[in-house]
Amino acid sequence: MSDTSKCEKCGAAVDAGELVEHSGQHLCEDCYMDRVSPLKPCDPWAVHNARGAKNLATPELLPLQRLMLDAVTAAGAMAPDDLAARLDVQRPELDKQFAVLRHMELLRGFKGDDGRVYWCRF
C-alpha cells in the first residue's frame, strides 16, 4: 500500500499523512490554506483603491477616449473645438468623455495666453 496520496484539487502527490480533509475533499496544505484563508486578494475594489486611479498605466478607455488622448498627446495641447473638429465629434459628447478622462487624471483643461480653453495631458 502506498503512503503517498493525491490532493483532490491540484493533483499534487502528497504524503497521505499530510493531506487535510476539508468539505469532504482531501487537500494538500497549500490548497487547504487557499480554501480556508479569509484573505481575498482578488477583491476588485481593494485592488482598485490600492492602485489608485493615477497609477493605472493602461486604463480601460473607450475608443473615443483613446482617440482624444492620442490627439491631445500628439499636439501637446488642443482647444476642445479643434479636437471636436479633428475627431468629427459633437462637443457635448466630447465634453462628456473629457469629464471622464479628467476624472482619471489623464486630461485636464487650462486657459491659454489667448484666453481660450485648451486641453492637455494631466
Binding flag, residue 66, Zn ion (CB under 5 A): no
The footprint of Zn ion on residues 78-117 (CB under 5 A) is none
| Contact pick of 7, 19, 68, 84 for Zn ion (by CB under 5 A) | 7
Nearer to Zn ion by Cβ, of 10 and 46: the residue is: 10
Q: Which residues pair with 5 in a beta bridge?
A: 14
Task: Concatenate the DSSP letters of all residues of 53-113 into one string.
Answer: GGG-SS----HHHHHHHHHHHHHSEE-HHHHHHHHT--HHHHHHHHHHHHHTTSEEEEE-T
Residues 19-58, mask of contacts with Zn ion (x by CB under 5 A): ---------x--x---------------------------
Query: Which positions touch Zn ion (CB under 5 A)?
Result: 7, 9-10, 12, 28, 31
